[in-house]
Amino acid sequence: MRILVAVAPTMYREAFAHILRREGHPNDEVHLAYPDDLDREAASFHPHLIVSSNEASEVRMVSVPSWFVIRYYDILSASVSHDLQATRLIQDPTTEDLLGVVEEARY
């Protein structure tokens, strides 16, 4: 499975990628991108899952099936969507939540 991580700041992006590489499936490809390059990177990498800190409408047009979008407001949360199903919100997401979304995206 191809996972594109486009989270800001850079340290968060690198930490997410490290977790996904260490705890994820050995055949998963994890690619890092700057959030501003999300649409271009998604078009060339063709990810199954995007982990980002924003949603780009241009990327939605590339048919990325699954999203884990981190939201920095009063409390950290993440919205999760798979194959255009209803989006669900995770309050104060954990590493286990992220890994669970990866497993959901696999199927």
When pLDDT is averaged across residues 100-104 and rounded to a whole number, the result is 95
Give the mean pLDDT of the chain: 89
pLDDT in tens, 2-14: 999 999 899 999 9
14 Cβ contact list (under 8 Å, min separation 6): 32
Q: In CATH, what class is 2-106?
A: alpha beta
- Please give the Cα distance from 70 to 56 (Å, whole number): 13
84: which 2 tokens?
């255009």
In the chain, domain spans: 2-106
pLDDT in tens, 41-76: 999 999 999 999 866 555 656 678 899 999 888 789
103: which 2 tokens?
């497993």
pLDDT of 74 reads 79
pLDDT of 56 reads 56
Angle at 12 between CA 76 and CA 96, to 5 degrees: 60
29: which 2 tokens?
């490809």
